[in-house]
Structure 1
Amino acid sequence: MSFIPHLTKSVHHAGYPAIDPTNPKLSASGKTVIISGGAGGIGYAIAQGFAIAGAARIIIIARRQEALDESVASLNAESAAAGRATEVWTYLLDIRDSAAAEDVFKSIRARLNQGKLDGEEPIDADVLVTSAAELLQGKMSIEFSAEQYRGSFDTNVIGNLNLVRAFLAPEIPAIPFTGLDGIAKDTSSVPVPKRKKTILDVSSSSSYLVIPGQGPYASSKLAFTRIMQALQAEVDLIEGQPIRIHYFNPGTIYTPGVAKLMDEEAKNAIKGFIFDDYSLPRGFAVWLASPEAEFLKGKYVMSNWDVDELVALKEQYAADPTFGTITLKQ
Structure 2
Amino acid sequence: MAESTNSIANLERDGMVLQYQFTPTMHREMYTAISPKNPMNSAKGKNVLVTGGTRGIGRSIALSWAEAGAAAVVITGRAEKLLQEVSDEIKRVNPNAKVLAVRCEATSEEDVKHLWAQMKAEIGVIDVLVANAGLSSEMGLGFPAMGTLKPSQWWYDLDVNVRGTYLQIHEFLQQHIVNGKEASGTIVIISSIAAALDTPGMSAYSMGKLLNARMAEYLHVDHPSVRSFSFHPGAVATDNVFPALRHMFVDPPEMAGGLSLYLSTPRADFLRGTFLTVNWDVEELEKHAEEIKKDKLLNLGFINAKLGPEGHPF
Please point out which of 143, 155, 159 is paired with 1:154.
159
Q: 1:2 maps to which residue?
A: 15
Structure 2: any 5+ residue segments left out of the alignment? 1-13, 307-314
Q: Is the 8 A contact 2:60 2:256 kept in 1?
A: yes
Q: Is the 8 A contact 2:189 2:212 kept in 1?
A: no
Q: 2:257 maps to which residue?
A: 282
Q: 1:144 maps to which residue?
A: 149
Q: 2:242 maps to which residue?
A: 262
CA distance in 2, matches of 1:312, 1:133: 33
Please point out which of 68, 82, 107 is paired with 1:67.
82
Q: 2:128 maps to which residue?
A: 127
Q: Is the 8 A contact 1:13 1:274 kept in 2?
A: no
More helix by share: 2
Q: 1:173: Cα distance to partner?
A: 5.2
Q: Is the 8 A contact 2:77 2:102 kept in 1?
A: yes
Q: What SS does structure 1 have at the residue aligned with 2:15?
A: coil
Q: 1:75: Cα distance to partner?
A: 2.0
Does the C-alpha gap of structure 1 residues 90 and 107 become closer, same or farther in structure 2, counting only changes over 3 Å?
Answer: same
Please point out which of 298, 305, 312 is paired with 1:324.
298
Q: What SS does structure 1 have at the residue aligned with 2:284?
A: helix
Q: 1:186 maps to which residue?
A: none
CA-to-aligned-CA distance 1:16-46 (integer Å, 9 cap, x gap)? 1111111111110010000001011000111
Q: What SS does structure 2 have at the residue aligned with 1:37?
A: coil
Percentage of pairs with the same residue = 27
Of residues 147-156 and 227-236 in structure 1, the stretch that sits farther from structure 2 once superposed is: 227-236
Q: What SS does structure 1 have at the residue aligned with 2:188?
A: strand
CA distance in 2, matches of 1:192, 1:287: 23
CA distance in 1, matches of 2:20, 2:121: 45
* TM-score, normalised by the number of residues in structure 1: 0.82
Does the C-alpha gap of structure 1 residues 70 and 230 become closer, same or farther in structure 2, counting only changes over 3 Å?
Answer: same
CA distance in 1, matches of 2:126, 2:294: 32
Q: 1:52: Cα distance to partner?
A: 0.9
Structure 1: any 5+ residue segments left out of the alignment? 113-122, 175-189
CA distance in 1, matches of 2:215, 2:67: 31
* TM-score, normalised by the number of residues in structure 2: 0.86
CA distance in 2, matches of 1:97, 1:295: 34
Q: 2:122 maps to which residue?
A: 111
Equivalent residues in 2 for 1:41-56 (5 A)?
41-56=56-71
CA distance in 2, matches of 1:209, 1:252: 14
CA distance in 2, matches of 1:281, 1:22: 14
Q: Is the 8 A contact 1:140 1:213 kept in 2?
A: yes
CA-to-aligned-CA distance 1:51-104 (integer Å, 9 cap, x gap)? 11110110001111111011112222333xxxx522221111102111221121
CA distance in 2, matches of 1:16, 1:228: 25
Please point out which of 217, 220, 230 is paired with 1:229.
217
CA distance in 2, matches of 1:267, 1:304: 18
Size of the aligned set, in residue pairs, is 285
Does the C-alpha gap of structure 1 residues 191 and 140 become closer, same or farther in structure 2, counting only changes over 3 Å?
Answer: closer
Q: Is the 8 A contact 2:216 2:274 kept in 1?
A: no
Extract structure 1 runs of 4+ deviating beyond 4 A. none
Please point out which of 26, 39, 49 is paired with 2:41.
26
Structure of higher RCO (CA pairs closer than 8 Å, 6+ residues apart): 1
